[in-house]
DNA sequence: CGCCGGTATACATCACATGTATCCGGCTCC
DNA sequence: GGAGCCGGATACATGTGATGTATACCGGCG
């Protein structure tokens, strides 16, 4: 174990123990290095590693601070890991399976917690998707926003961050590009309408079923598509 | 955006594009720094950040390599993030809610995929828990192994890594310590028996229900316990 | 087959130069 | 006389270069 790794562990422990609460300022590089008992370069490496993980935030010319440590922030690194996971063959289908398990139950929970404002927001995204059948990029964005809003309606920021990450912007973009030509896009729209209808009635089981149907169809589409365009699945 | 951040992004892109496949060796520090167009110190910071995220692996005196990029490896950093999340008030209950949503459906999936060997392994852990009612540490370990084996029976390594992370070693240890005195430990055992019984029959809905009951009870216990020992919840 | 040294590599430190944000005093304008 | 603006001083992170140390791999020698 290198000195830098020890330094990282020390700083992490200070945060976890409460000695460095969220938002607090770390000593200057020189002092920090002295306290950790190593050179400035190594202290810099430790700080860099922690700031990439969104645990520390460096403000040039000012100082280094502990971030808010909120789930959405810390799980950004998780999102980055998922992006790289897609390079690993098979991980893509695993990822989609996790989503197939999690998103329906999240929708069910959202059904009993969603507010009228959030329902209106979902309506807005759905309308926008109908209007923008020609613009794949815009379509993709509203689709992602639609699903994000549903999960966010659970009020669970950790759950939201996890699902956002495994939904994967890159992956979704690929799917939408592939589906654009076919009639799948139309079916997807009706699936969204079914989900929104169930949520509007605050019907948890129905919401869960509609979400499961949607994700399963997406998964099925991708599974078939991966077989045909094998070479592009890098 | 600092030069180091750019360097990190560049290396990540090289990996994601397939130019640096898993297991491949990076050029020596000097060459790497030259290729990225910066000093060796900054290249070292970039490599350090990526190796902390388990994307690169440094072998001293040998060289720097891309890891296998397997889900279990990359999601170790996710696990680390979860540990720090527990410092954030409220995140603990959010985390448990995610587990309450995910673990039952994972159990249902495991019910249709679990092998006889894995069922035998579960029996082993359950027996071990019965025998070690006095040793909290051992009890905790077999409990964790029990849940891990169930999720692993789904064959989905990504799902396994995610659930392992949110189950949280630290958190579970706290719960077991708190429950040891009370009669809750006995009830927990019977809940485990119910889950294993359902899995043995390959009954997916029953397994899901049993798992939900177990996690919900754990969540309920923690929720009540957090209220009583407010000061210690740091 | 085993030891032994050379070479390549990462590890760690130090000194120095640069860019940038914050703070504070003095000045100007109202 | 007071409020607002400007500029220098200061503190800090950013980035570079040189240097020595520790470790792993490999080939030659006994």
Which chain A residue's Cα is nearest to B163? A98
Mean pLDDT score, B7-11: 93
CB of B12 less than 8 A from some CB of A:
yes
Give the model's pLDDT for residue B91.
87
Least confident piece of the model among A131-145, A202-216, B33-47, B184-198: A131-145
Give the model's pLDDT for residue B229.
61
- B14 CB-side CA count, 13 A: 21
Q: How far apart are CA A36 and CA A15, in angstroms?
A: 14
Mean pLDDT score, A148-154: 97
- Count of other CB atoms within 10 angstroms of residue A77: 21
Give the model's pLDDT for residue B87.
75
Residues B81, A78: C-beta atoms closer than 8 Å: yes
Chain B hits for A94, CB-CB cut-off 8 Å, are 71, 156-159
Residue where one domain finishes, among candidates A69, A85, A106: A69
| Structural domain that includes position B216 | 74-232
Beta bridge partners of A57: A65
List CB contacts of B25: < 8 A, sequence separation 6 or more: B63, B64, B65, B66
Give the model's pLDDT for residue A145.
94
Instruction: Say if residue A61 is in the same domain as residue A149.
Output: no
Mean pLDDT score, A100-110: 98
Give the model's pLDDT for residue A233.
39
pLDDT in tens, B136-153: 888 888 999 999 999 999
Burial of A128 (0-12, 13-18, 19+ CB in 10 A): middle
pLDDT in tens, B50-61: 999 999 999 999
Give the model's pLDDT for residue B231.
47
Residues A158, B41: C-beta atoms closer than 8 Å: no
Q: Which of A196 and A179 is assigned the larger pLDDT?
A: A196
- B213 CB-side CA count, 13 A: 16
Nearest to B201 by CA among B103, B105, B114: B114
Instruction: Say if residue B85 is in the same domain as residue B46.
Output: no
Least confident piece of the model among A53-57, B74-78, B213-217, B223-227: B223-227
Give the model's pLDDT for residue A221.
84
Residue where one domain finishes, among candidates A69, A90, A113: A69
Residue B158 beta carbon within 7 A of nucleic strand C = no
Answer yes or no: is pLDDT of B170 > 90: no
Do residues A78 and A161 make contact, with C-beta atoms less than 8 angstroms apart? yes
- B-interface mutation test, from A81, A100, A157, A171, most B Cβ less than 10 A away: A81
Nearest to A90 by CA among B147, B103, B69, B23: B69
On strand C, nucleotides with any atom < 7 Å from a protein CB are: 8-15, 19-22
Give the model's pLDDT for residue B103.
97
Residues B113, B119, B125, B130, Cα dihedral to 10° = 120
Instruction: Say if residue A50 is in the same domain as residue A166.
Output: no
Q: Is A181 left (phi over 0), alpha (psi -120 to 50) or beta?
A: alpha
Give the model's pLDDT for residue B230.
52
Residue with tokens 């997807």: A188
Give the model's pLDDT for residue A232.
44
Instruction: Say if residue A59 is in the same domain as residue A83.
Output: no
pLDDT in tens, A16-57: 999 999 999 999 999 999 999 999 999 999 999 999 999 999
Residue where one domain finishes, among candidates B69, B101, B119: B69
Cβ-based contacts with strand D at under 7 Å: A 26, 28-30, 41, 44, 47, 58-64; B 2-4, 38-42, 59-62
Mean pLDDT score, B91-99: 91
CATH number for position B17: 1.10.10.10
CATH number for position B97: 1.20.120.530
Chain A hits for B106, CB-CB cut-off 8 Å, are 101
CB of B112 less than 8 A from some CB of A:
no
Q: Could you tell me what percent of chain B has a pLDDT over 70?
A: 94
CB contacts < 8 A, A to B, total 142
Instruction: Say if residue B111 is in the same domain as residue B177.
Output: yes
Hey, which residues 165-224 in chain B have their CB within 8 Å of chain A?
A: none
Least confident piece of the model among B161-165, B209-213, B218-222: B218-222
Average pLDDT, rounded, for chain B: 89
Instruction: Say if residue B103 is in the same domain as residue B154.
Output: yes
Report CA(B6)–C1'(D5) in Å, whole number.
Answer: 38
Answer yes or no: is pLDDT of A182 > 80: no
Give the model's pLDDT for residue B188.
87
Instruction: Say if residue A58 is in the same domain as residue A149.
Output: no
Least confident piece of the model among A173-182, B81-90, B185-194, B214-223: A173-182
Least confident piece of the model among A113-127, B80-94, B154-168: B80-94
Mean pLDDT score, B74-100: 88
Beta bridge partners of B63: B59
Residues B91, A158: C-beta atoms closer than 8 Å: yes
Per the structure, how many domains does chain B have?
A: 2
Instruction: Say if residue A14 is in the same domain as residue A107.
Output: no
Do residues A100 and A192 make contact, with C-beta atoms less than 8 angstroms apart? no
Residues B15, A87: C-beta atoms closer than 8 Å: yes
- A-interface mutation test, from B23, B54, B55, B81, most A Cβ less than 10 A away: B81
Beta bridge partners of B65: B25, B57
Mean pLDDT score, B167-194: 78
Cα angle B75-B79-B82, degrees, rounded to a multiple of 5: 135
Hey, which residues 137-156 in chain B have their CB within 8 Å of chain A?
A: 156
Mean pLDDT score, B41-49: 93
Residues A84, B109: C-beta atoms closer than 8 Å: no
Do residues A66 and A21 make contact, with C-beta atoms less than 8 angstroms apart? yes
Q: How far apart are CA B62 and CA B75, in angstroms?
A: 26
Mean pLDDT score, A98-116: 97
Instruction: Say if residue B107 is in the same domain as residue B223.
Output: yes
Instruction: Say if residue B91 is in the same domain as residue B21.
Output: no
CB of B19 less than 8 A from some CB of A:
no
Nearest to B49 by CA among A57, A45, A66: A45
CB of A12 less than 8 A from some CB of B:
yes
Burial of B89 (0-12, 13-18, 19+ CB in 10 A): exposed
Report CA(B29)–C1'(D14) in Å, whole number.
Answer: 20
Answer yes or no: is pLDDT of B233 > 60: no
Answer yes or no: is pLDDT of A234 > 60: no
Answer yes or no: is pLDDT of A129 > 80: yes
Instruction: Say if residue A108 is in the same domain as residue A64.
Output: no
Instruction: Say if residue A136 is in the same domain as residue A209.
Output: yes
């Amino acid at each position: 174990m290198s000195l830098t790794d020890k330094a990282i562990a020390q700083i992490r422990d200070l945060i976890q123990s409460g000695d460095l609460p969220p938002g607090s300022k770390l000593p200057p590089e020189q002092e920090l290095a002295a306290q950790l008992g190593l050179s400035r370069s190594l202290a810099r490496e430790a700080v860099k590693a922690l700031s990439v993980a969104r645990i520390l935030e460096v403000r040039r010319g000012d100082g280094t601070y502990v971030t808010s440590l909120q789930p959405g922030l810390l799980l950004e690194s998780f999102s980055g890991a998922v992006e790289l996971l897609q390079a690993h063959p098979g991980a893509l289908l695993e990822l989609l399976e996790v989503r197939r398990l999690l998103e329906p139950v999240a929708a069910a929970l959202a059904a009993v917690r969603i507010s009228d404002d959030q329902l209106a927001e979902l309506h807005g995204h759905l309308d926008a998707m109908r209007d923008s059948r020609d613009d794949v990029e815009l379509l993709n964005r509203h689709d992602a926003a639609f699903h994000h809003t549903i999960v966010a309606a659970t009020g669970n920021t950790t759950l939201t961050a996890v699902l956002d990450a495994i939904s994967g912007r890159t992956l979704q973009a690929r799917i939408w590009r592939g589906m654009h030509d076919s009639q799948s896009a139309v079916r997807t729209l009706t699936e969204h309408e079914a989900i929104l209808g169930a949520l509007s009635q605050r019907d948890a089981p129905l919401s869960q079923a509609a979400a499961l149907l949607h994700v399963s169809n997406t998964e099925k589409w991708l599974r078939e598509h991966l077989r045909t365009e094998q070479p592009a699945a890098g």
